[in-house]
Amino acid sequence: MNLADQVLAVNDDLPIRTDKPVHSGKVRSVYWLTEADSKRLIQEKNYPVPADAPLAIMVISDRISAFDCIWHGEGGMRGVPGKGAALNAISNHWFRLFREKGLADSHILDIPHPFVWVVQKAKPIKIEAICRQYITGSMWRAYANGEREFCGIRLPDGLQKDQRLPELLITPSTKGILRGIPGVPEQDDANITRDDLFANYAAFNFRSTADIDLYEKLLKQGFTAIAESLAQLDQIFVDTKFEFGYVTDKNGEEKLIYMDEVGTPDSSRIWDGPSFREGKIVEQSKEAFRQLLLSYFPDPDILLNKNRMRERIALARDNALPRDILMEVSRTYLDIAERITGEKIAVPENPKAEICDILRREYKLID
């Protein structure tokens, strides 16, 4: 089979029954089920949610984004073979670990296919909860330019690139553009402080200030659980992004949960332990793809400079990347997914057809 056919690039055109617009993000598309289908599935599958809880089908893709653009390759490859299956397998693994450790639930109720989640509607917290154990990437670039304060936390002088930080740092940023919050810039990914959260907790969708403490606790516990598990594989958990939200349980109680994806190569940096001890950084995450892009194009400033966004969009649109680059990314994702899960990641030959078949046959969501 042609490699391009194995890639699920367009995931917002599935004939899933819905009466609302399909929401398509950089990687996933969300199909909100009809009220009747939600109620039917809750009853048939015995999902632990209220009988009238809204449900959605969330379908991952193999698209790859970096520097706020979607990239494609030669030969009609609109994504990376195996990437979607690897991301979902890793998230599923960590969500299961979190449940085993008694941390918190997720919004996932069911996994019909390696590309598909059945999820409960959540009320998202409007921050990207970022944890950093090492100084690297954008934080290092800012530090090297003399910045010492990050999200209200002051770092000491004398830190070296890629050094382990004295403590795990929580450096949240805004999710989307939030307006009218004192001291918070009206832009996506604006850095915010802990004081900002406490002063404006309702604007960030927190139910109470106590839940800010709970989110920080879950963030640290989740990071530590993944870091310890990766350390057993001699891999280093460098930094990551978590997202949180509220759902209502079967008893009508609202609870804070992990949502979206956790501990994946898309949302985290993971370094190879043996290479790090030899003084080399070998990325086991999307950061490797970012570095490939920076070395591939003659003017990397286009990718790093937000003031050159129009040029960057044109660069991604007009350049089909060599197949070797996308296959190298595929190997990175599948390799780390198989190490983490301890299982071979099956790459579907025709993911769209498989998804439609299962959702038609077993879930009766396609006519």
The 10s digit of each residue's pLDDT in 123-163 is: 999 999 999 999 998 899 999 999 999 999 999 999 999 99
**Same structural domain for residues 329 and 283?**
yes
Q: What is the pLDDT of residue 275?
A: 97
pLDDT at 3 over 80: no
Which of 170, 204, 238 represents a domain boundary (last residue)? 204
The total of structural domains in the chain comes to: 2
pLDDT at 223 over 90: yes
Residue 186 near residue 179, CB atoms below 8 Å: yes
216 lies in some domain: no
Q: CA 137 to CA 290: how far, in whole Å?
A: 11
212 lies in some domain: no
Tell me what the mean pLDDT of segment 324-332 comes to. 94
The domain in which residue 164 lies consists of 128-204
Q: What is the pLDDT of residue 2?
A: 61
Q: CA 85 to CA 106: how far, in whole Å?
A: 18
DSSP percent split of the chain into helix, strand, coil, nearest 5: 35, 25, 40
Q: What is the pLDDT of residue 88?
A: 96
258 lies in some domain: yes
**Same structural domain for residues 58 and 153?**
no
Q: What is the pLDDT of residue 313?
A: 97
**Same structural domain for residues 275 and 313?**
yes
Is the C-alpha dihedral spanning 96, 98, 99, 104 positive or negative?
negative
323 lies in some domain: yes
**Same structural domain for residues 256 and 112?**
yes
309 lies in some domain: yes
**Same structural domain for residues 160 and 278?**
no
Work out the angle at residue 250's Cα, subtended by the Cα atoms of residues 249 and 254, and round it to the nearest 5 degrees: 25
**Same structural domain for residues 251 and 365?**
yes
pLDDT at 4 over 80: no
pLDDT at 89 over 90: yes
312 lies in some domain: yes
Cα–Cα separations (whole angstroms), residue 131 to 22, 126, 151, 171, 300: 31, 16, 12, 6, 26
Q: What is the pLDDT of residues 165-211, one digit of tens each?
A: 999 999 999 988 889 898 888 888 889 999 999 999 999 999 999 99
183 lies in some domain: yes
pTM value is 0.94
Q: Residue 334 contacts by C-beta under 8 Å, 6 or more apart in sequence?
A: 82, 86, 345, 347
**Same structural domain for residues 56 and 178?**
no
Please tell me the number of Cα atoms within 13 Å of 318 on its side-chain side: 7
**Same structural domain for residues 140 and 183?**
yes
Which of 173, 204, 235 represents a domain boundary (last residue)? 204
3-state secondary structure of 60: strand
Domain CATH for 305: 3.30.200.20
Q: What is the pLDDT of residues 229-284, one digit of tens each?
A: 999 999 999 999 999 999 999 999 999 999 999 999 999 999 999 999 999 999 99
Which residues are registered as beta bridge partners of 235? 272
**Same structural domain for residues 347 and 256?**
yes
Domain CATH for 197: 3.30.470.20
The pairing of beta strand 320-321 with beta strand 69-73: parallel
215 lies in some domain: no
Confidence of residue 5 (pLDDT cuts 50, 70, 90): low
Nearest to 10 by CA among 61, 50, 72, 48: 61
Which residues are registered as beta bridge partners of 64? 71
**Same structural domain for residues 11 and 134?**
no
Q: What is the pLDDT of residue 327?
A: 94
Q: CA 80 to CA 138: how far, in whole Å?
A: 25
